[in-house]
Chains A and B, each alone.
Chain A
């Protein structure tokens, strides 16, 4: 069954996919830089009334926790990447590489850029995990 992005169910499945990914386990094995939060900007016309955060507690190749949080909570993460719905949809569909998206200003990063660049392979593996989720997009 397709899971709606973003939703608690989708995030739970994302966590499962991360923790069953050998690719992420290897690429993120040395990651100790803390939580990564992904924020989708509000888009009332498709039902997203306010900014939505996805909290990913990543540590040494494992996702210890994943949950929906408020944007305010998300900003407390050491890394917070913000984009509008269309951009995240492009990322999930592998039409936009996240680091390139940041370079183009389509995704906004709060956090240490060199750390993100160093783990570009891990970020690709996270994107791979999203592609394994049967996703229902709110604007389709």
Chain B
């Protein structure tokens, strides 16, 4: 099959042993690659009940068949394992350049097992693979270690670097993994998992090509897709303003959370924090992931003032909201500085910003005081205080120790009424999209595999009407503030969206394609006779597999819920008074999806999807 290298590196860090393995062709056909194949690998070879920080919890880095091709939006790779933050299946995908380079080095992925007794890093130069001592790198931030490793391993050939910063080393539960300073696997704490293995970095250089099965069809499709991803207005919007282009429109539709999800509208904040402001004031140039014509990444610089920042990777929409509207900060330069520190330490800006918003509300309500914060003023809007807290969290100092656990655990330890201030699902802090404005997103948060997630189901673009896929059975114009018909929409969104993490492809670029385009990308690359129906079937199968894994890790129907704060109506803004009908949504969804009362996929549904082994393990 084209697209695959049919080689997965297996590295046992406990004994410094390196092997080559692979998955069966059947599993590639059924789960494609990326996090789909990673989940199958986990089910087959590892224990779902493992402690997330046990050496027996693997860290799985996995490309998809499209990774490393020159089709637009396909530079992505997935990183998976049992999440230290949530205790259930964790995964994240990342753009940048590491995935393609790994493929050029002849690898579809890497499974890290065990844990090294001392810090190490892995160097891959085509077939030359070596585990090296990283004691001198331990403690370095992501920017410094990336520069050093590029210099050390032949800067002229531009090796690609995957690294963790001090937050990952210190096992901050929402630590991220960094690719070449600007791209991150942010969600679910995969950086902490990497840190628990004492794995500081992976350096890769490759010289191979990625072969595709139908070169002529591939070339024709590529031409079409480049035009679509270049010309679509959403792509132009992201190119000119970054993903933060959505802030102003989001404020008008009730999408943007404000003041720890307690306020419905603040036009002053969106005017100061939105894409146009970021572009006009601080953008120096665009940056693109490999082979992407959209180039949504921002390179920014703050020339002077208290948040002076050298030119470097800038914030996405999620960060502008989490360190902006969510904490009532209107200073975009402060957001840029907070983003830089999160990048350097290696922390998910969504979970980190949400945790700081939680702390600010706890401070306002007197649940914590300056005595608890070592004198830091956590008044709403104080971005300087937020940045001081970032340092404490990354270093696990003072109050940073409990905040480094994420809001669910921090609220438990704080006691009193703190749990009401924690906005998470299954332990994952909610991203910056408010279900009161879009009820389908509320259901998607409840049923998403990894907790409150805005990406693994394409629901964001589809429900908001930014992306339309009528050939996949979606309507063109969903009404955001209704729960009617949303269970069917979300199930379809999941089945359609989950394969994006298997291919692996950028959701935002996929917004500019048709549904058939995605299936066609698989066909021309791999040679598999692959239709849109196959893509949807693969999505359903992969969702069931990951849900089953989650069940084995402890997920039950009780975990499919929304936090109390999101179930409190807003008084102002576009979503004022609006509330997802949780009971109706879940009742209809469970019926359509085929989940039993415990939240497990029913045996017959699993068997129908070809998951007999999982059915046996879940139901006996």
A interface residue numbers (CB < 8 A to B): 95-97, 99-100, 102-105, 109, 113-115, 117-118, 120-121, 124
Contact = CB atoms under 8 A, between A and B. Distances in A.
26 contacts: A95-B477, A97-B249, A97-B253, A100-B464, A100-B465, A102-B233, A103-B234, A104-B468, A104-B476, A109-B233, A113-B233, A113-B236, A113-B240, A114-B241, A114-B276, A117-B241, A117-B245, A117-B248, A117-B249, A117-B275, A118-B271, A118-B276, A120-B248, A120-B249, A121-B252, A121-B267
Given A95-B477, A103-B234, A105-B233, A118 B240 contact: no
A109 B237 CA distance: 11
Nearest to B244: A117
Contacts of A104: 233, 465-466, 468, 476
B464 A114 contact: no
3 cross-chain pairs, A with B, having the tightest CB-CB distances, nearest first = A118-B276, A114-B276, A103-B234
A53 B167 CA distance: 57
A121 B248 CA distance: 8
A99 B249 contact: yes
B472 interface: no
Measured as residues with beta carbon below 8 angstroms from the partner, the interface class of chain B is: 20 to 34
B274 A103 contact: no
Contacts, number: 57
B232 interface: yes
A90 B442 CA distance: 27
B404 interface: no
Chain A interface SS verdict (over half): helix
Contacts of A121: 248, 252, 267
Nearest to B245: A117
B483 interface: no
Contacts of A97: 249, 252-253, 465
A38 B252 CA distance: 22
Nearest to B253: A97
Nearest to B512: A105
B263 to A, nearest CB: 17
B229 interface: no
B232 A105 contact: yes
B241 A113 contact: yes
Contacts of B233: 102-105, 109, 113
Given A114-B276, A117-B276, 11 more contacts: A100-B466, A103-B233, A104-B465, A104-B468, A104-B476, A117-B274, A117-B275, A120-B249, A121-B248, A121-B267, A124-B252
B279 interface: yes
B330 to A, nearest CB: 15
Interface string B211-236: 00000000000000000000011101
Interface string B245-259: 100110011000000
A114 B275 contact: yes
A109 B245 CA distance: 16
Interface string B328-367: 0000000000000000000000000000000000000000
Contacts of B477: 95-96
A99 B250 CA distance: 11
A118 B342 CA distance: 28
A99 B245 CA distance: 11
Nearest to B241: A114
A114 B279 contact: yes
B268 to A, nearest CB: 12
A124 B464 CA distance: 16
Contacts of B249: 97, 99-100, 117, 120
